[in-house]
A and B are shown apart, each in its own frame.
Chain A
Amino acid sequence: MTSGQALPQPAYTNIVEAEKLCVSFGPVQALTDIDLAIGKNDIVGLIGDNGAGKSTLIKALTGVVRPSSGRLYIRDQPVDLGRYSVRKAHALRFETVYQEKSLGEKQPLWRNFFAGRQIVNRFGFINVREQRRIANEILQSHLGFRGVGIDADSTVANLSGGERQGIAIGRAMHFDADLIILDEPTTALAIKEVQKVLDFVRWIKESGRAAIYIEHNLAHVHALADRLVVLDRGRIAASVRPAELSLDALTRFLIDLQQPKAGIAA
């Protein structure tokens, strides 16, 4: 369970740091020379146009996508990009709520919460009873989504979009992590649920953890983030503290970015 206990004092300054990170999909260069450091208790808001490369960046940071070049440091230690994987990222206490589907449609929730890191005995057999119990606990304690009547045996295919989002967030909350990455976590949610996600981000900050928070609602990120990083066509266009740039100025900046010429001037 996500607990309020004090974490062991981290002996690092940055939970993750990218240096000249590039990602390409065939001929498409999705990210170019990304330099980004996230402190151990930083909430970084990542913003930018559709297709700017936000999701790709977090996929590179979490081992889903392999960078074509650049370096990655986790807790100030260099990472071998050739051997970096989702599994490693989990082991390094990174949790991600992905923007697109991250649940097995036909599978029950007790499988979905643990897929990829099941509770197993030494022969690899799953402890179903334990997974069910924890899944029900997560559903009851973390998730306020209207799906009461949903239990560990419910199949994802029968859930609403918001409920699915809630399940993915609950999963991230359960696996207590040092870095929690949220990729547009509020898009499918009703106002009340959005508030819960915002509370969750605040809790990440208060409990000494770090987050990358991708959000198109500028008011939300502006209010919550310690730092705003603007991505534009695969490059970092700006990195500012909310205190240095009002919400209005930020909005104008983003709109100007979309004009072809103003892009680099910033």
Chain B
Amino acid sequence: MSSARLRHAASRARPLSPLFAGKKLEGLPIIVVFIALIAVFTALAPHVFLRWPIYDSFLVTIPPLLIISLGLTLVIAAGEIDLSFPAVIQFSGFLFAFCSLQLGLPWLGLIAALLGGALVGFVNGILVAVVGVPSIIITIGTSFFWSGVATVLCGGLSYALPGLENTPIANIFAGKLLGVPAEAFWALGVAVLGWFVLNRHRFGEHLLFIGDSRSVAEVLGINVRRERIKLFTLMGVITGFASFMLTIQNLNYFATQGQGTLLSALAGVFIGGSSVFGGSATMVGSVFGALIIGMLEAGIVATGVAGFWVEVIVGLVFIVAVVLHIAVESPASLDQLRRRLAVRGPRPDQATKEEIP
């Protein structure tokens, strides 16, 4: 029997490096940043951050973008990117508003929003996986296209939807449960499901392998083409849902909705620690990344810093978070940096032996 023949003679163990000894908590660096941020905000504006209302408003405003970040996490795990989701926010939101207002069928509107997102995503998927255009290029194109389609369809007009107030659909998706905004529960649900899909489902594993190397995935028998089409379609559906949520919580469809979300949603994912190169991504990281991005603006304003500092601080937090990830994930690269800095300009207390005559 082969196993007997190939059995290893000795079992001398190579000690694991201490870094790999314990399992790391997923998303730990970003959770630290998140807690630090809350602490800073609370210290600077206790009257705001020690009371519930600010959190209540966070739990309303953050979920749509957070849900999109979760979808993007899957896309980025596969080494792809989707820049067309702002257009889906516009397009799917219109479909929902149209069905609700003109047809009086909000539930049909929800389905239309999801299907509209699926259509956009499916087209992206075909263009990426079958035609072979890099997703970063083609989703710029489809973004213009679907945003244009939405603008043509709505005639550039916004739709007020006051009639939906207190309807079952509004209460289920944008009401309150136990005093907490319903959106928060939906976001949590999508996050948990997303975590299981990425980390425990066959589909998520296929995405990770595709992100790692497409040719390896093919050799392993993964249907790369089909999985990528599925991925983009799913991303469209998730964005369609987020757009529906945004529209129903505002009781309004804005012809410009979705604009300005592109960088925020992507920032949430990358702050969270997912790799732009694909093959590794973290749902927990994306949740906290999106929370941080969503909190920053309101938080900074509440602390009394002038509003135009917001972007400076967002940029700083982004850079700190990303560097922190590198420090935790690959300490070697930071060691190298430290050594290089030490050689160039040693502080007196760090002078190396060679430099002491």
A residues apposed to B, CB below 8 Å: 1-4, 63-64, 85-87, 89-90, 98, 100-107, 111, 115-118, 120, 124-126, 128, 140-145, 147-149, 153, 173, 196, 199-200, 203
Query: Which residues of B have CB within 8 Å of A100?
Result: 215
Query: Which residues of B have CB within 8 Å of A2?
Result: 1-3
Q: Would you give 27 A-B contacts (Cβ < 8 Å), ordered by A?
A: A64-B218, A86-B219, A86-B221, A90-B221, A100-B215, A101-B213, A104-B216, A104-B220, A105-B213, A105-B279, A111-B205, A115-B206, A115-B209, A116-B222, A118-B205, A126-B200, A141-B7, A142-B3, A143-B6, A143-B8, A148-B8, A148-B13, A149-B16, A196-B5, A199-B2, A199-B6, A200-B5
Q: Which 7 A-B pairs have the closest CB atoms?
A: A149-B14, A86-B221, A116-B221, A144-B8, A116-B220, A104-B212, A106-B279
Interface residues of B in 211-257 (CB under 8 A from A): 212-213, 215-223
Q: Mark B262-303, 1 if CB is under 8 A from A, else 0.
A: 000000000000010001100000000000000000000000
Min CB–CB distance B117 → chain A (angstroms)? 22
Judging by beta carbons under 8 Å apart, are B1 and A3 in contact?
yes
Query: Which residues of A have CB within 8 Å of B218?
Result: 64, 86
Taking the complex as formed, is B208 at the interface, i.e. its CB lies under 8 A from any CB of chain A? yes
B residues apposed to A, CB below 8 Å: 1-3, 5-16, 23, 196, 200-203, 205-206, 208-209, 212-213, 215-223, 275, 279-280
Query: Which residues of A have CB within 8 Å of B216?
Result: 101-104
Query: Which residues of A have CB within 8 Å of B8?
Result: 140, 143-145, 148
Q: Give the residue of A3, A125, A196 whose beta carbon is less than 8 angstroms from that of B196.
A: A125
Q: Give the residue of A87, A149, A200 whose beta carbon is less than 8 angstroms from that of B221.
A: A87
Query: Which residues of A have CB within 8 Å of B219?
Result: 64, 86, 98, 102
Query: Which residues of B have CB within 8 Å of A147?
Result: 14
Query: Which residues of A have CB within 8 Å of B223?
Result: 85, 87
- In the complex, which residue of chain B has the Cβ closest to the Cβ of A153? B23
Q: Give the residue of B3, B5, B208 whose beta carbon is less than 8 angstroms from that of A1.
A: B3
Min CB–CB distance B54 → chain A (angstroms)? 38
Min CB–CB distance A103 → chain B (angstroms)? 7
Query: Which residues of A have CB within 8 Å of B209?
Result: 104, 107, 111, 115
Min CB–CB distance B103 → chain A (angstroms)? 35
**In the bound complex, how far is the Cα of B218 from the Cα of A163, in angstroms?**
22
Min CB–CB distance B94 → chain A (angstroms)? 33
**In the bound complex, how far is the Cα of B203 from the Cα of A43, in angstroms?**
37
